[in-house]
Amino acid sequence: MNTPINPKSNRMPVGSVQCDNTTLNLLKANDFVAKAIRERLPDMLVINVCSSPGSGKTSLMQETGRRLRDKINMAVLVGDPETDRDAIRMKEVGINALQIVTGGMCHIEAQMILQALDHIDLTGVDLLFIENVGNLVCPAAFDLGEDIRVTLLAATEGDDKPKKYPRMFLTSELMVISKSDLLPYVPFSVEAVTKDAREVNPTIEVISISSLKGDGMDEWCEWLVTKVNEKKTSQVAI
Amino acid sequence: MHEISIVRNVFQTLEQTYPEKFDRIVKVQVQAGLLSNVQPILIQNAFEALIQEEPSLSDVELEVLLLPIIAHCDACDKDFEVKKHRFICVCGLPSKKIIQGEELQISEVQFSGQ
């Protein structure tokens, strides 16, 4: 056994001990910034899109932008540990996109969003997607000032994920089952995954889509248009 | 999750909250809900690593208390413990009204009495 370099001297309090019971939130810095983002974007729907790497977030953004071009003014902030490839992919199909390079970090924090807002033109934008870093663990803990969190789960990933990554599915309003065109070829049960997801989050909605073949894309786009309108109406009401 | 930054955050928060008494801190208790994805042993290791940088913290004891997930069932008007992430009450009804389990906070600080 190595001796610790700085062994504790066991400075037991002599005499009296003062004890302060408190609740000092350790994510308060992030939550404070998230609140500032909400206040800055009062009439824009902000959706935080989470998933594992490679489950089809960018393809879904591309296809959504193509389908909703005439209905909704959409922009995307896309986070990756390195490279601006995803932003380039989206700009290629005419989507207003900005890359956030997290410098190796496995999630986006609210501060990165706040800084990014100064570098993208959001004039007239109704719907801002934040495409999070591919990871089902850490992004779940960081509020980015979004209105809605959506989690993608690809048919190829297996239907056991909601129970393995409960916090992500617990905090999502919608689970999108992506690559649904592959469902006939993989052991993935939409029924089983829906049951598991609803044991973690009884109110989670489920939509199956294929960005490649177009299945379910109408339902997804309608869902988005409804949510964008709900956000606008709620602002008029205030 | 991000144990090093959490431990740094603990001591930054304490320094801001108790500027006068910070150097008299002997014990800190952190509460981590099971949904915070925090592992106590990794927090302890991260704390040992921080002490290498900040030897003045070597006499501080850090305790991490894991809190189980508790949800509330409206039908029974009772709280129940969520085990294996099944947010379902014994009565069979689902609930996501979380009473406890998402915390990541400093819950107790002890100071030496001079």
Q: Give the nearest partner residue to B86 out of A19, A137, A199, using CB atoms.
A: A199
pLDDT < 50 regions, chain B: none
Inside any domain, residue A176? yes
Secondary-structure breakdown of chain A: helix, strand, coil percentages, each rounded to the nearest 5: 40, 20, 40
| Distance between CA atoms of residues B26 and B58, nearest Å | 10
Inside any domain, residue B12? yes
Inside any domain, residue B31? yes
Beta-carbon separation of A23 and B105 below 8 A: yes
Beta-carbon separation of A16 and B36 below 8 A: no
The nearest CA of chain B is from the CA of A198 a distance in Å of 8
- Percent of chain A at pLDDT > 90 equals 81
CATH of residue A81's domain is 3.40.50.300
Inside any domain, residue B53? yes
Q: Is the pLDDT of residue A96 over 80?
A: yes
Which of A2, A8, A12, A20 to mutate against chain B (most B CBs within 10 Å)?
Answer: A20
Q: Is the pLDDT of residue A206 over 50?
A: yes
Inside any domain, residue B11? yes
Inside any domain, residue A9? no
Which chain A residues have a beta carbon less than 8 Å from that of B14?
24
pLDDT band of residue A105 (cuts 50, 70, 90) is confident
Average pLDDT over residues A194-223: 97
Residues of B near A (CB-CB distance < 8 A)? 1-2, 6, 9-10, 13-14, 17-18, 21, 26, 30, 35-37, 48, 51-52, 55, 58-59, 61, 84-88, 94-96, 104-114
How far CA A34 is from CA of A29, A147, A189, A199, B18, in Å, comes to 9, 11, 36, 28, 26
Element (H, E) at A80: strand A74-80
pLDDT of residue A235: 78
pLDDT of residue B13: 92
Find the closest chain A residue to B53 by CA distance. A6
Inside any domain, residue B74? no
| Distance between CA atoms of residues A75 and B113, nearest Å | 57
pLDDT band of residue A6 (cuts 50, 70, 90) is low
Inside any domain, residue B36? yes
**Boundaries of domain holding A135:** 33-224
Q: Check if the beta carbon of residue A22 is closer than 8 Å to that of residue B106.
A: yes
Q: Is the pLDDT of residue A4 over 70?
A: no
The total of structural domains in chain A comes to 1
CATH of residue B44's domain is 3.30.2320.50
What SS3 class is residue B107? strand
Q: Which two tokens stand for residue A201?
A: 């989050």
Question: What's the pTM?
Answer: 0.82
Question: Does the interface predicted TM-score (ipTM) exceed 0.85?
Answer: no
Q: Check if the beta carbon of residue A152 is closer than 8 Å to that of residue A51.
A: yes
The total of structural domains in chain B comes to 1
pLDDT band of residue A175 (cuts 50, 70, 90) is very high
**Boundaries of domain holding B17:** 3-69+100-111
Q: Check if the beta carbon of residue B97 is closer than 8 Å to that of residue B71.
A: yes
Give burial (CB, 10 Å; 0-12/13-18/19+) of A133.
Answer: buried
pLDDT band of residue A1 (cuts 50, 70, 90) is very low
The nearest CA of chain B is from the CA of A140 a distance in Å of 9
Inside any domain, residue B64? yes
Which tens digit of pLDDT belongs to each residue from A26-57?
877 788 899 999 999 999 999 999 999 999 99
Which chain A residues have a beta carbon less than 8 Å from that of B70?
none
Query: B88 pairs with which residues across the strands?
Result: B94
Which tens digit of pLDDT belongs to each residue from B89-112?
999 998 889 999 988 999 999 999
How far CA A129 is from CA of A86, A140, A145, A177, in Å, comes to 13, 16, 11, 18
